[in-house]
Amino acid sequence: MEKAKELDELALKGEKSKSKIKKFFSQIAKDKYLYLLALPGLIYFLLFKYVPMWGITIAFKDFSPFLGYVESPWVGWQHFQRLFGNQDFFMLLRNTLAISFLNLIFFFPLPIILSLLLNEVRNQFYKRTVQSIVYLPHFLSWVIIASLTFMLLSKSEGVVNQLFVFFGFEKFDFLTNSDIFWFLLTGQSVWKEAGWGTIIFLAAIAGVNTELYEAARIDGANRFRQIWHVTLPAIRNVIIILLILRLGDVMEVGFEQVFLMYNGAVSEVAEVFDTYVYRVGIQQGQFSYSTAVGLFKSFVGLILVVIANKMSKKFGEEGIY
Amino acid sequence: MIKKSLGDKIFDFSNLIFLGIISIVTIFPIYYVVVVSFTDPIEYLQKNMVLFPENWSLASYEYLLSSGAFVQSLGVSTFLTVVGTTCSLVITSSFAYALSRKKFKGRKFILLLVLFTILFNPGIIPNYLLVKELGLINSLWSVILVSLSNGWFVILMKGFYDSIPDTLVEAATIDGCNDFTAWIKIILPLSLPSIAAFGLFFAVQYWNQYFNALLYLNESSKWPIQVLLQNMLIDASSSSLGDVDPLLQPPPSETLKMAAVVIAIVPILMIYPFLQKHFAKGVMIGSIKE
C-alpha cells in the first residue's frame, strides 16, 4: 500500500514537472514575438562579446593561425611568466599608474571647483554660455585633440612657441620631452573633460534646498562660507562615489590618447598596457603573449571595479551595477 | 532681499572673470584652427602666426576638397555614422525593450550577461582575431559590428523602458497587436525623444571612430576621416591626400591640416545644439564609458 502511494506521488510529481515544462514552453510560444525582439541583440552579445572571452584561451596556448584555436598546443602560464619576468612589465605598470594618478590629483578636483563656481553665477545667460563652451571639447575625437595639441605646442610651428620667441624666450620642447609627457596627457584630459565632468556635480548641487542658503546668510555667512558649509557637504557623497569609481578604473588609460601622442623620444614613459598589446600583438603578431598581457590588465581591472563598487555601496550609494 | 556686501561683489566679479578666462582658454584652440584654415596661404607663410587674418582665403578648402582620398574618407565616415547609428539603435532598443518586460523568461540572467561585458573586456587581441575569423578585415562592417551595441547603452535604455507600464502593451494586445507590432506602433513613437538622444550619442561615437578603423581597415581607400587626418598630421608632404587637382597651388601643410580639422569638427558642431538637450543622459554614458 505504502509503496503504491509513493509511486503514485512520484508519478504525480513527474506529471507536475512535465506540465511545468510544458507551461514554460507554451508561455514562450505565446510571447514568441517578444523573444524575437531580443534575439538579434542576444546573438550580437554572444558573438561579439562572449566569443572573444572564449578566445582568451589562447593566452594559455601557443597560438598559431595555421593550427587554429583548438589545435594550438597548451603551454600553461608560460606567457604570464614571460610578462612578469620582463623589464617591460614594470615600465607598463609604472606608466599606467603614473598617468592614472596624475589624472586623479590634477584632473579630478577641477570639475568640482568649476561646478561650485558655475553655481555661484547669478546671470543665467552668462552661465549657459560658459557651460556651452566648456562642454564642447568632450565631443571632439582624440585625433582632433592631438591635432590641436600639435598645432599649439609643436616646436617649429606651434603657437605657444611662436609666442615664446616673440617675447624673447627660448623655444620649449613640449611634444618629444619625456619629462613632461605625463603632464601633457593630463593637460589634454583637463581640456577635453573638465567641463563635461561638472554636469554630474551641478545636478547634485541643484538638489540643495535653497532655504539652507537663506539660513546661512542670516547667520552672517559670506559666499565662501556658504560654499564650504552648505554646497560642499551636499555633494560630498557624489564626490566620494566618483573618487572610488575612478580608483577602480586606474588600469584604464585611454589607448587613443596615448597612442596618438606616442613618439620615439617618449616611448619609455608612454608605453601602457593597451599600446603594448597593440604593438606586440597586432604589429609583431605575437598573439598569445599579447592576449596574456591584455588578460592581466582586464583581470586586475575587473577586481578593482568590483571592490570599488562594494565600497561605494558601503557609502549607502548605488554602485555602477 | 539682503543687500550685497562688498565682499560678495568682489567674489561675483572675480568669479565672472575667472570663468571668462576658462572659456577663452577652452575656445582658443578651436578659434585658432578656424582662423588659420581661412587665412590666405601667402599671409600665413609670412607671419607664421595669425590671430586676425587680413586676407581671407578658401584656398586650403579648395585644395582639400579636390583630393579624391579626402572626399572619400568623408564618404566613409558618413556611411559609418548613418548606417552604424541606424543599426545600433534598432538592435539596442529592441533588445533593451524585450529585457524590460517582466514576462520575459530568463531576463535576469541575460541582464547579468550584459552587465558582465561592461566589467570585463577580453582585450584587443581576442576581438581582433574574431573579426579576422569572420573575414571582416578591410570591410567597413567590422567597424560597425564591433561597436554596434554595448552593455551601458542596453542597461540605460532598459532603464528608460522600465517606466513604460505593461498595461499599455496589454491594451494594444487586446486590439490585436503582438509584442512586435506593439513595439513598433506604440512603444517606439512614445520613446522617440529618448531614442533620438541615444542616436546622437551613437552618431558622435561613429564619427569619432579611430581605434577600430586603425585596427581593422588596412587599405587607405577604406579610411574614415579620423584615420586620414591622423596620417596627414604625421606626414608633412600631405601625400596621404593622394591625387589632387594639378592646377591648384598646394597651400602650406599647416593651413591644409587646419582646414581638415575644421571639416572633421563641423558635423559635431552641427548636432551640438541637439546634443545639449540631452546632456543628462550623456553624462551617464560618458562618465562611465571611458
DSSP for A100-157, please give it: HHHIIIIITHHHHHHHHHHHH---HHHHHHHHHHHHGGGGS-HHHHHHHHHHHH-TTT
Put simply, whether B2 touches A (Cβ < 8 Å) is yes
A96 in the same domain as A54 = no
Contact assessment for residue B268 and residue A139, using Cβ atoms and an 8 Å cutoff: yes
User: B241 pLDDT exceeds 90?
Assistant: no
Contact assessment for residue A287 and residue A75, using Cβ atoms and an 8 Å cutoff: no
A155 in the same domain as A180 = yes
What is the average pLDDT across A258-281? 93
- Let me know how long chain A is: 321
Instruction: Out of A298-312, B232-246, B267-281, pick the least confident.
Output: B232-246
- Coil, helix or strand at residue A271: coil
User: A168 pLDDT exceeds 80?
Assistant: yes
User: B1 pLDDT exceeds 50?
Assistant: no
Q: Which of A31, A223, A252 sits opposite B103 (nearest CB)?
A: A31
A246 in the same domain as A176 = yes
Query: Which residue in chain A is spatially nearest to B27 when comparing CA positions?
Result: A133
Query: What is the span of the domain harbouring residue B171?
Result: 68-216
Measure Cα distances from B247 to B38, B61, B65, B243, B257 in Å: 20, 14, 13, 12, 20
B208 in the same domain as B152 = yes
Distance spanning both ends of chain A, measured CA to CA:
56
A150 in the same domain as A6 = no
CATH number of the domain where residue A115 is located: 1.10.3720.10
A105 in the same domain as A21 = no
User: A59 pLDDT exceeds 60?
Assistant: yes
A268 in the same domain as A243 = yes
From chain A, pick out residues whose CB is under 8 angstroms from the CB of B253.
none
Residues 202-231 in B contacting A (C-alpha not used; CB under 8 Å): 204, 207-211, 215, 226-227, 229-230
B41 in the same domain as B83 = no
ipTM: 0.91
Question: In chain A, what percentage of residues exceed pLDDT 70?
Answer: 93
Side-chain half-sphere CA neighbours of A56 within 13 A: 18
Examine residue B236 and state whether it is found in any structural domain, yes or no.
no
Examine residue A72 and state whether it is found in any structural domain, yes or no.
no
Does A290 contact B27 at a Cβ distance shorter than 8 Å? no
A2 pLDDT tier (thresholds 50, 70, 90): low
Examine residue B229 and state whether it is found in any structural domain, yes or no.
no
Examine residue A320 and state whether it is found in any structural domain, yes or no.
no
Examine residue A173 and state whether it is found in any structural domain, yes or no.
yes
- Of residues A297 and B235, the one with the higher pLDDT is A297
Put simply, whether B138 touches A (Cβ < 8 Å) is no
Query: Which residue in chain B is spatially nearest to A153 when comparing CA positions?
Result: B29
Query: Which residue in chain A is spatially nearest to B110 when comparing CA positions?
Result: A42
User: B247 pLDDT exceeds 80?
Assistant: no
Examine residue B231 and state whether it is found in any structural domain, yes or no.
no
Put simply, whether B179 touches A (Cβ < 8 Å) is yes
Summarize pLDDT for B157-173 with one digit per residue, the tens: 998 888 888 888 888 88
| Mean pLDDT, chain A, integer | 88
B3 pLDDT tier (thresholds 50, 70, 90): low
User: A192 pLDDT exceeds 90?
Assistant: yes
Measure Cα distances from A28 to A22, A40, B66, B195 in Å: 10, 17, 58, 28
B76 in the same domain as B41 = no
A321 pLDDT tier (thresholds 50, 70, 90): low
A146 in the same domain as A46 = no
Contact assessment for residue B280 and residue B198, using Cβ atoms and an 8 Å cutoff: no
User: B75 pLDDT exceeds 50?
Assistant: yes
B60 in the same domain as B140 = no
From chain A, pick out residues whose CB is under 8 angstroms from the CB of B27.
133, 136
- Coil, helix or strand at residue B235: coil
Query: What is the span of the domain harbouring residue A195?
Result: 78-314
pLDDT score, position B38: 93
Examine residue B223 and state whether it is found in any structural domain, yes or no.
no
Q: How far is B261 from chain A (nearest CA, A)?
A: 6
B203 in the same domain as B150 = yes
User: B287 pLDDT exceeds 60?
Assistant: no
What is the average pLDDT across A82-95? 92
Residue where a domain terminates, one of A66, A90, A110: A66
User: A249 pLDDT exceeds 90?
Assistant: no
Q: Of A34, A100, A133, A189, which to mutate for an interface test with B (greatest number of B Cβ within 10 Å)?
A: A34
What is the average pLDDT across A112-123? 93
A100 in the same domain as A54 = no
User: A7 pLDDT exceeds 70?
Assistant: no
What is the average pLDDT across A68-94? 90
User: A73 pLDDT exceeds 90?
Assistant: no
A137 in the same domain as A44 = no
Examine residue A321 and state whether it is found in any structural domain, yes or no.
no
Put simply, whether B8 touches A (Cβ < 8 Å) is yes
B56 in the same domain as B74 = no
What is the average pLDDT across A94-112? 94
Residue corresponding to grid cell 564642447:
A136
From chain B, pick out residues whose CB is under 8 angstroms from the CB of A49.
117, 151
A95 in the same domain as A23 = no
Contact assessment for residue A300 and residue A251, using Cβ atoms and an 8 Å cutoff: yes
Total of domains in chain A: 2
A218 in the same domain as A305 = yes
B97 in the same domain as B35 = no
Max CA separation in chain B (angstroms): 76
Q: Which of B124, B146, B275 sits opposite A278 (nearest CB)?
A: B124
B128 in the same domain as B116 = yes
pLDDT score, position B288: 45
B166 in the same domain as B92 = yes
Residue A30: enclosing H or E segment and its boundaries? helix A2-30
Residue where a domain terminates, one of B216, B231, B263: B216
A281 in the same domain as A201 = yes
B115 in the same domain as B55 = no
Contact assessment for residue A20 and residue A28, using Cβ atoms and an 8 Å cutoff: no
Examine residue A319 and state whether it is found in any structural domain, yes or no.
no
Residue where a domain terminates, one of A23, A39, A66: A66
A283-305 core/surface letters (b: 16 or more CB in 10 A; e: else): eeebbbbbbbbbbbbbeebbebb
Examine residue A307 and state whether it is found in any structural domain, yes or no.
yes
Contact assessment for residue B11 and residue A120, using Cβ atoms and an 8 Å cutoff: yes
Q: Which of A37, A195, A294 sits opposite B125 (nearest CB)?
A: A294
User: A17 pLDDT exceeds 80?
Assistant: no
Examine residue A277 and state whether it is found in any structural domain, yes or no.
yes
pLDDT score, position A79: 92
B62 in the same domain as B191 = no
Side-chain half-sphere CA neighbours of A160 within 13 A: 16
Query: Which residue in chain B is spatially nearest to A255 when comparing CA positions?
Result: B211
pLDDT score, position B33: 92
Examine residue B169 and state whether it is found in any structural domain, yes or no.
yes
User: A257 pLDDT exceeds 70?
Assistant: yes
Q: Which of B207, B215, B286 sits opposite A282 (nearest CB)?
A: B215
| Mean pLDDT, chain B, integer | 87
Residue where a domain terminates, one of B174, B200, B216: B216
Residues 73-102 in B contacting A (C-alpha not used; CB under 8 Å): 90-92, 94-99, 101
Q: How far apart are CA B37 and CA B253, in angstroms?
A: 10
Total of domains in chain B: 2
B100 pLDDT tier (thresholds 50, 70, 90): very high
B53 in the same domain as B184 = no
Residue where a domain terminates, one of A18, A42, A66: A66
Q: Which of A148, A197, A222 sits opposite B33 (nearest CB)?
A: A148
Examine residue B114 and state whether it is found in any structural domain, yes or no.
yes
Q: Of A22, A132, A141, A275, which to mutate for an interface test with B (greatest number of B Cβ within 10 Å)?
A: A141
Examine residue B59 and state whether it is found in any structural domain, yes or no.
yes
The residue among B115, B101, B82 whose CA lies nearest residue A35 is B101
CATH number of the domain where residue B146 is located: 1.10.3720.10
Q: Which three cell numbers stand for residue B208?
A: 569619432
pLDDT score, position B275: 84
pLDDT score, position B290: 36
A32-57 core/surface letters (b: 16 or more CB in 10 A; e: else): eebbebbebbbebbeebbebbbebbb
- Of residues A18 and A136, the one with the higher pLDDT is A136
Examine residue B251 and state whether it is found in any structural domain, yes or no.
yes
Burial class (CB in 10 A: 0-12, 13-18, 19+), B229: buried
